[in-house]
Structure 1
Amino acid sequence: MKIRFILFFAVFTAGFTHAQKMPISYDFGEKYDDRYKYSNLVSISEDGTGGTVLVRSYYTGMILKPKGYFIEHYNKDLELISEYNYKLKGPDLIEGYLRNGQLYLLFLDYNWETLSYDYIVHRSPISNFNFTEEKLLSIQSDQVQQPYDRNYYNRNFSSGFTTTALFNDDKSAFIISTHFKKGKINKHNIYLFNASLNKIFEQDFSNEIEDKNYAFENIVVSPNMERVYIIGKAYFKKKRFTALERKFQYELIMLSKQGAITQNFDGPGKFSEALKPILRNGNLICVGFYADRKDNRYNGLGYFKLDPITLEVQIRKYNPFSNQFMTDKFGTEDAEQVKNLVFKNVSFTQDDEILFNAEEYFVTSSVQANSSGGRIRVERFHHNDIVSAKLNLKGEMLWARNINKSEVTQGDGAYASYCSYTKNDNTYFFISSSAENPQLLNNERVIFKQGMSRNRNVFVIQLDKHGKMSYEKIIDDKEARLPLMVSKPLVDFNDNAVLFYAKRGTKKQLVNVSIN
């Protein structure tokens, strides 16, 4: 049974917009019992009829180990209509998606019989689960410790084999990159597949890696799938660097059946970071951050318009962070350094202006004692400030704002971070916090902290078309007894809605939030 709430609220906080009405409605689905207390949400997709299919990896045992994948199918009324336990141990799940009533699960597995790394797809109709397997690729290699390497820092190319799979935004296509090194053999291939698993083309990228190793991060595919544009870090092999100096440059690679073309963006005193490729109305655009020095600080936003065929740069624009942005973040204009920003998403206004969003993300580690008297290394994942900026068609920055927040997690990051949605030139950011209210600093800055309570509130932060900020707690922790996975939503652009999965222990439900 759905429980529906509608909110119309006004904000009167100093330093923010006045009396702004933000109509938000939300539906709670029924709470259901769940047999697996420990799990991670790995995929959430629309089923084509308004319903939702979720895939979770689950863990059981005295020492928690992965045992399989639990699949849930909900209808448009947020009602659970079927569940399926896919008991599968061994391969690593890379991505899951739905296409034409079929659920596709892409795995990477090591085959001890052939001594190779295999990309395998398991697929099944969602109307009657019955999985079949199909091998996409097989690459001969010794087994290595971390073959699938897609973190933002500390890339390792010395293990002998590394691979990455990247999907475009609507998951209609994906690439697989494989890099194998042994002795004098140094082979790098890139494959483009469509969502139906047809190989569009394959490119030998080995000539490009004599002086550089590539770590790919984002892709965009042309509508006819004749070209794929890949953004990645190109790490220099033979140059000497100081301890704090950047060891890479960002490059754009265009692949087609005719070959590969590369373009870099760094110029005198300008070094790019966290770039995102965009195809919009036949234009190829890359937008991200830049630094004035070869270190890990950022100084502003970069915008590059390129010829989609030759990759020639037609517009190159650097926008330094504004005084307002620095005041948002630090309370003064130049007190500290901006760094560790990771691209999150991009959207467009009705006038084709760009809204670019990123997050301050980094990893720390420490050694601590465990229950048996030993010492273990613990990694902590920090999801901090939100950065949002608006650029016009010429690449000029109209405004940039920083939203202060502080979150850290050692495990599942689905409950941390944020998601955003843009409608009518307004951007809405959804975050989850155990704090009852954000902290106001100097009546101008606001900071959302993680809080200590077990239950979580859901806040919405709005940036209007002028970059003015307002916020409100839209779902109280007394209503939402289960925490929402705010960073893994299902976004419905047709109905202007964002669907969240909520879970704690053995209870679960869906929550649908509409922007009216």
Structure 2
Amino acid sequence: MKYILSLLLALCCSSLLVAQPRNEQTTILWGRPYEESRRSTLADVIGHDASGIYTLSFKAGMFYGLNSRFTLEHYDINMDQARTVEIDLEHNNAKRSLERIVHYNNRLFMFTSQADQKSKVNSLYIQPINKTSLLPEGEPRQVARIDYSGHSKNNSGSFGFEASRDSTKFLIFYNLPHDSREQERFGFHVLDWEMNPLWEQQIELPYKEDLFEVERYKVDDQGNIYLLGRIFNQKRKLRRRGEPNYKYQILAYRNEGTLLTEYPVEMPGRFLTDMQLAILPNQNLVCAGFYSNEGTTSIKGSYYLTLDSKSKQVTRQSVKEFGADFLTETLSDSKARKTKSRIEKGKNIELYQFDLDNLILREDGGAILVGEQYFVRRVTYTNGRTTTTRTLYYYNNIIVVNIDPRGDIAWAHQIRKSQRTVDDGGFYSSYTMAVVADKLYFIFNDHPRNLAPKKNKFYSMNTASKEALVVLVEVDSQGQQTKTPLFMSADAEVIIRPKVCEQIAHNQLVVFGQRKRNHRFAKITFTAADRPLEEVSTK
């Protein structure tokens, strides 16, 4: 059901080498284009093995998403469609909801749920999928259940999933139905590397629901659970209106969920606006993100800190304020002069509406932060007889912050990007990225004039134009950027959807594009291949 809700918005709103400008750092292998319904799109790149990739596609129903369908697909190493099977969600004369299909330790598993209105139980099932036939094997096995007696089906709970860094533990988490005046409750089920149960626990948060919001769940290699959340001074709906009213808190559930340890994360004099969390093999906690001055919700700089899991003390901490060069590096000359003048006069200059997307841990102990400016505007206008409302989606500059192995922030830079669309949910917007050795590669739809922009002019991407261009921005270990054309959308016969593209190996990225009925995959191989980094992502 989660797939349907997220994909309906996008859809309702919205082995050949192609002749193209070539990039010396990459090779691109295009699969053959194939035709699909205009109501179809890619939902997920599930995983890969030596035979190719496994994907999930979605076709929206005609009326408000009714009778929407999912299809499991396999593409060979040449990115050509090898097999496709529509997923049958009927079981014992009842229809289940697809929760997730995962590729875990080289096996495919399907999670489905079914809420029984008579028994008031929402059950989660797991079923292995045969990689050759793409069909489920055996009977569904129940792995979790939510009793929602006394509540409506709308309050029957929801399921989420997370794997540990070493892929030996798999977490199923779900919120339990409760009244608004009660403490929020959750259930945890931890499975082993073969998806067999290890332990389960239901917990009650030490806060009321309207005063605490869980942002992220993590499971470490030992099967311990971590919740990153925000404690609010007032109700959650009042957050980010005027003064900030929340602080970050980490809740660690160890000893099979019976032992709770709370880790407050604060930096005196600074308000932490966004945070990513990673768990090191020794169970120490890495927190990184953006901060602002106290009393504001914009971002003024970035921070990085490590918490000792036993003492709760900060063992490493670094802060970097975004200076004049950073704030002006993507501005036109005239705007840069005005901004620097304001800074020299002591004016407070901060950035707004940036989301923290990725925390990338390096094997040398360092890390990289990646964020993107994203916001939505709704515009209503009338001609005297009718009123029309348009929704505008903005996906703009990317922020990259590098932290060295000592925990010091070495540099921060912006990648200039402008993407503005109307009533489409940002279907072709945002970026995809690959981490290859000590370099980062960002790929997104752009305007060809931005390859050599004029001093005071930068163009928003235009996917409707025949000149629509996909670009590659390389960021090296020193923060130096190189922007080059990757291919023309017209040559590829599709427009890429960066949000669903996926890095499948340490030097390979799968790209998916569609235009009208045309769908197509490509595999991009980066020549600067080396050992991979680990990525902790929210996309």
User: Could you tell me the TM-score, scaled by structure 1's length?
Assistant: 0.82
Tell me: CA distance 1:426–1:236, structure 2 relative to 1, closer, same or farther (3 Å). Answer: same
SS at match of 1:479: helix
Tell me: CA distance 1:497–1:101, structure 2 relative to 1, closer, same or farther (3 Å). Answer: closer
- Paired residue for 1:511? 522
Unaligned runs of 5+ in 1: 10-21, 148-160
**Partners of 1:57 and 1:66 within 8 A in 2:** no
Shift of 1:417: 0.7
**Partners of 2:20 and 2:487 within 8 A in 1:** no
- Paired residue for 1:139? 147
More displaced 10-residue stretch of structure 1: 504-513 or 195-204: 195-204
SS at match of 2:178: strand
**Partners of 1:175 and 1:191 within 8 A in 2:** yes
Shift of 1:185: 4.6
SS at match of 1:415: coil
Aligned equivalents of 2:327 and 2:457: distance in 1? Answer: 13
Aligned equivalents of 1:493 and 1:182: distance in 2? Answer: 45
**Partners of 1:43 and 1:97 within 8 A in 2:** no
| Residue among 412, 421, 425 paired with 2:438 | 425
Aligned equivalents of 2:204 and 2:501: distance in 1? Answer: 38
Root-mean-square deviation (Å): 3.4
| Residue among 81, 103, 107 paired with 2:108 | 103
SS at match of 1:478: helix
- CA deviations on 1:165-204 (whole Å, 9 max, x unpaired) are 2524767623413143227654512414336544444444
The one-letter code of the counterpart of 1:217 is E
The one-letter code of the counterpart of 1:143 is S
SS at match of 1:487: helix
1:467 aligns with 2:462: no
**Partners of 1:265 and 1:271 within 8 A in 2:** no
- Paired residue for 2:326? 325
Tell me: CA distance 1:243–1:60, structure 2 relative to 1, closer, same or farther (3 Å). Answer: closer
The one-letter code of the counterpart of 2:516 is G
- Paired residue for 2:35? 33
Shift of 1:307: 1.4
Aligned equivalents of 1:80 and 1:162: distance in 2? Answer: 36
SS at match of 1:297: coil
| Residue among 181, 184, 188 paired with 2:185 | 188
1:273 aligns with 2:273: yes
- Paired residue for 2:537? none
SS at match of 2:520: strand
Query: Larger % of helix: which?
Result: 2
Shift of 1:31: 1.1
Aligned equivalents of 2:402 and 2:240: distance in 1? Answer: 35
Aligned equivalents of 2:277 and 2:180: distance in 1? Answer: 35
- Paired residue for 1:45? 46
- CA deviations on 1:431-489 (whole Å, 9 max, x unpaired) are 123x223176675x995622252554210111222112220111112321111122222
Shift of 1:29: 0.7
- Paired residue for 1:235? 232
User: Could you tell me the TM-score, scaled by structure 2's length?
Assistant: 0.79
Aligned equivalents of 2:158 and 2:22: distance in 1? Answer: 48
**Partners of 1:343 and 1:358 within 8 A in 2:** yes
Shift of 1:116: 4.2
Aligned equivalents of 1:508 and 1:318: distance in 2? Answer: 45
Shift of 1:400: 0.6
Query: Larger % of strand: which?
Result: 1
Aligned equivalents of 2:65 and 2:417: distance in 1? Answer: 31
Shift of 1:114: 2.6
1:2 aligns with 2:16: yes
Give 1:62-77 correspondences, 5 Å limit.
65-77=66-78
Give 1:93-132 correspondences, 5 Å limit.
93-99=98-104, 102-107=107-112, 110-121=115-126, 123-131=128-136, 132=139
Unaligned runs of 5+ in 2: 1-14, 528-539
Give 1:477-516 correspondences, 5 Å limit.
477-494=489-506, 496-516=507-527
Tell me: CA distance 1:294–1:464, structure 2 relative to 1, closer, same or farther (3 Å). Answer: same
Shift of 1:126: 2.8
- Paired residue for 1:55? 56
Shift of 1:57: 1.9
- Paired residue for 2:378? 365
Aligned equivalents of 2:306 and 2:293: distance in 1? Answer: 20
Shift of 1:359: 1.1
Tell me: CA distance 1:207–1:508, structure 2 relative to 1, closer, same or farther (3 Å). Answer: closer
Tell me: CA distance 1:3–1:329, structure 2 relative to 1, closer, same or farther (3 Å). Answer: closer
**Partners of 1:116 and 1:138 within 8 A in 2:** yes
| Residue among 394, 397, 402 paired with 2:406 | 394
**Partners of 1:348 and 1:355 within 8 A in 2:** yes
**Partners of 1:462 and 1:470 within 8 A in 2:** yes
Give 1:244-263 correspondences, 5 Å limit.
244-256=242-254, 257=256, 258-263=258-263
- Paired residue for 2:418? 406
SS at match of 2:296: coil
Aligned equivalents of 1:382 and 1:400: distance in 2? Answer: 22
Shift of 1:234: 2.7
1:222 aligns with 2:220: yes
Aligned equivalents of 1:176 and 1:297: distance in 2? Answer: 32
SS at match of 1:298: coil
Tell me: CA distance 1:112–1:295, structure 2 relative to 1, closer, same or farther (3 Å). Answer: farther
Aligned equivalents of 2:486 and 2:134: distance in 1? Answer: 37
The one-letter code of the counterpart of 1:493 is A
| Residue among 146, 160, 176 paired with 1:165 | 160
Aligned equivalents of 1:134 and 1:325: distance in 2? Answer: 53
**Partners of 2:305 and 2:407 within 8 A in 1:** yes
**Partners of 1:107 and 1:119 within 8 A in 2:** yes
SS at match of 1:325: helix
The one-letter code of the counterpart of 2:251 is I
Identity of aligned residues (%): 15
Tell me: CA distance 1:78–1:467, structure 2 relative to 1, closer, same or farther (3 Å). Answer: same
